[in-house]
Chain A
């Protein structure tokens, strides 16, 4: 566990050194600009647009970090040959994968926490206070973090056997497909051929269902997120991430590094 922690901390430090957290400046500017601009050109949606844009930006900024750092987690170490030095020490391959995942997860956590501070400050500026209707926003942010962890796990998986460009394309492709997951299910119900319906159902359960995690619109309206959804999404995220990480460890374990 100590070795996993050491790798995770190094991955986090490396991300900070790579100026990943600079995206926070863009995020802050975006929020301030939005709060001012939409107050001028729209009617009555200043808070709604701030919440929707703030949480969507949080997702996509985080997704960009998860994908573009995630795809290089293994590849970069191999390309720079630093992996060999690392594996010559008493570090198991699965610990390396787990450490890398935890490192990027920590980066994303810090990023999302700082973004949340900026987001709530902007919200305070717009609303001149907080109320109970703002509580669901915490659930929405938690779900965004779960989505990012899932994307990180996927990027890491592809990074174990593919080039960075392909890994990015695969991860992004799965994010988009997973966001359409509800449509896949609808489509399967509309199909007449039973085998096609079965196939579509299988695809529906196989792809990471990112649409599960998107409660931004309802949270923006102050609608509470049911406890069942909180537990369900947590369980779904943990199980899916667990499976993907196991697959990554397995692939990396069997990979010929010579």
Chain B
């Protein structure tokens, strides 16, 4: 009879080897199946109603899991391939499972509206999501604000934006500025001042640090646009006075127009492109400025 002392070491070694091999095989499988997995998720679980039924009534838990998947998908794609094809289906399933999950509509709309490469640039889907939220949560007036915001920012459709703000203003709990905002947007269309007000309101309406961070980064983007507009004016004046474009801000400083190298709100230097446009530094992490990233 073979004693345990004799067979145990080789058996342990064998198990260890098998374990290492298993990890390698799984890694190969992951690489092979990578492209298929995203498709599979859509094929099998594209219906929120089915997921709801299969969850045996524990749909709240499933909604949280799907919401986490949506957040993970958005974050991963933002850092990686920039393919957001699962985002809307995941948000739709999440809100079907738990129609009262307010933040899934609000964050979801922001995610969907983000322009590429920071997001899918699908404000139309954001509108669909928010309209679903309004239908299922008629007491929550802020969805009207969010809807107006998406029309305003994502679609630049100021008439629909004003209509959404007006509609929201009819709600008994709505903030009084909704009606003022509706009138201003209807009369003046899109201005940076309105955008600043809307982002500030979003910032003040939530305690969530990530949502506040998103609003803050857009407010920084708007400030950058203000500063670039101002600097662009100086560049134009310099060109008019000297008959040539400045090569850098050192030229403007030498001409006494500015005290030194201007910096963006995060401390990175602005630069002047060869065609005279004032831009953000490529190293600057600010991605929410419209004027600073016109390359």
Q: Which residues of B2-39 have CB atoms within 8 Å of chain A's CB atoms? A: none
Report yes or no: B61 in contact with A43, Cβ–Cβ below 8 A.
Answer: no
Contacts of A94 in B (CB 8 A): none
- Residue among A52, A59, A183, A210 with max Cβ neighbours from chain B (10 Å): A52
Q: Are B67 and A42 in contact (CB under 8 A)?
A: yes
Least CB distance from A186 to B in Å reads 10
Chain B minimum-CB-distance residue to A60: B58
B135 to chain A, nearest CB (A): 17
Do the beta carbons of B61 and A49 come within 8 Å of each other? Answer: yes
Which residue in B53, B56, B61, B68 is a CB contact (below 8 Å) of A42? Answer: B68
Q: Which B residue's beta carbon lies closest to that of A175?
A: B56
What sequence of 0s and 1s flags, for each residue 38-55 of chain A, a beta carbon within 8 Å of any chain B beta carbon? 100111110011011100
**Would you give the shortest CB distance from A163 to chain B, in whole angstroms?**
26
Across-interface contacts of A211 in B (CB, < 8 A): 57
Assess whether A49 is in contact with B64, with CB atoms less than 8 Å apart: yes
Would you call B101 an interface residue if the criterion is a C-beta within 8 Å of the partner chain's C-beta atoms?
yes
Q: Does A155 contact B (CB under 8 A)?
A: no
Cβ of A176 within 8 Å of any chain B Cβ, yes or no, is yes
Residue of B nearest to A51 (CB): B60
Task: Indicate the member of A48, A59, A183 with the most B CB atoms within 10 Å.
Answer: A48
- A residues 3-54 in Cβ contact with B at 8 Å: 38, 41-45, 48-49, 51-53
A43/B98 in contact, CB under 8 A: no
Q: Nearest A residue to B208 by beta-carbon distance?
A: A44
Assembled-state Cα–Cα distance A179/B58 (Å)? 10
- Are B58 and A43 touching (Cβ within 8 A)? no
* List of A residues within 8 angstroms of B59 by Cβ: 217
Find residues 113-141 in chain A having any chain B CB closer than 8 Å to their own CB.
Answer: none
Question: B67 — which chain A residues lie within 8 A by C-beta?
Answer: 42-43, 45
Q: Are the C-beta atoms of B71 and A214 separated by less than 8 Å? A: no
The reply to whether the CB of B107 lies closer than 8 angstroms to some CB of chain A is yes
A41's partner among B63, B72, B103 (CB-CB below 8 A) is: B72
Using C-beta atoms within 8 Å of the partner chain, give the interface range for chain B: 20 to 34
Decide yes or no: A42 and B71 within 8 Å by CB, A52-B64, A180-B53 being known contacts: yes
A interface residues, tally (CB under 8 Å): 26
A162 close to B (CB within 8 Å) = no
Q: Contacts A43-B210, A49-B64, A52-B64 given: A179-B56 contact, CB under 8 Å?
A: yes
Contacts of A48 in B (CB 8 A): 60, 64, 101
CA of A123 to CA of B208, assembled, Å: 18
Contact status B68-A38, CB under 8 Å: yes
Most buried by A among B58, B64, B65, B211: B64
Q: Which residues of A contact B217 (CB under 8 A)?
A: none
Interface contact A43-B57, CB-CB below 8 Å = no
Contact count A vs B, C-beta below 8 Å: 68
Question: When the two chains form their complex, are residues B56 and A221 in contact, meaning their CB atoms are under 8 A apart?
Answer: no
Interchain CA distance A41-B103 in the complex, whole Å: 15
- Verify B58–A52 contact, CB threshold 8 A: yes
B100 at the interface (CB under 8 A from A): yes
Candidates A41, A53, A210, A217; contact of B98 at CB < 8 Å: A217
Q: Would A41 and B61 be within 8 Å (CB), given that A48-B101, A176-B56, A180-B56 are in contact?
A: no
Q: Does A201 contact B (CB under 8 A)?
A: no
A38 to B71 Cα, complex, angstroms: 11
Tell me if A234 is interfacial: C-beta within 8 Å of chain B: no
**Are B58 and A42 in contact, with the CB atoms below 8 A?**
no
Chain B residues, Cβ within 8 Å of A210: 57
Q: Which residues of A sit under 8 angstroms from B107, Cβ to Cβ?
A: 43-44
Using A41-B71, A52-B64 as known contacts, say yes or no to A214 and B58 having CB atoms under 8 A apart.
yes
Q: Roughly how many angstroms separate A48 CA and B64 CA in the complex, as a whole number?
A: 7
- A residues less than 8 Å from B103 (CB atoms): 43-45
A179 to B57, CA, bound (A): 7
Q: Which of B35-78 contact A (CB under 8 A)?
A: 53, 56-61, 63-65, 67-68, 71-72
Contact partner of A216 among B60, B65, B72, B211, CB < 8 A?
Answer: B60
Contacts of A105 in B (CB 8 A): none
CB distance from A82 to the nearest CB of B (A): 36
In whole Å, how far is B76's beta carbon from the nearest beta carbon of chain A? 11
Contacts of A51 in B (CB 8 A): 60
Give a binary string over B202-213; 1 marks a CB under 8 Å from any A CB, 0 the rest. 000000101100
State whether B58 touches A56 (Cβ < 8 A).
yes
A220 at interface (Cβ–Cβ under 8 A)? yes
Set of chain B residues within 8 Å of A216, measured between Cβ atoms: 58, 60-61
Within 8 A of B (CB), among A146-189: 176, 179-180, 183
Residues of A in contact with B (beta carbons under 8 Å apart): 38, 41-45, 48-49, 51-53, 56, 59, 176, 179-180, 183, 210-211, 214, 216-218, 220-221, 223
Can you name 14 extra interface pairs (CB under 8 A) apart from A56-B58, A214-B57?
Answer: A41-B68, A43-B67, A44-B107, A44-B208, A44-B211, A49-B61, A49-B64, A52-B58, A179-B56, A183-B53, A216-B60, A216-B61, A218-B100, A221-B100
Q: Spell out B's residues near A (CB within 8 Å).
A: 53, 56-61, 63-65, 67-68, 71-72, 98, 100-101, 103, 107, 208, 210-211
In the assembled complex, 7 residue pairs joining A and B whose CB atoms fall closer than 8 Å, in A order, are: A42-B67, A42-B68, A43-B107, A45-B67, A51-B60, A211-B57, A214-B57
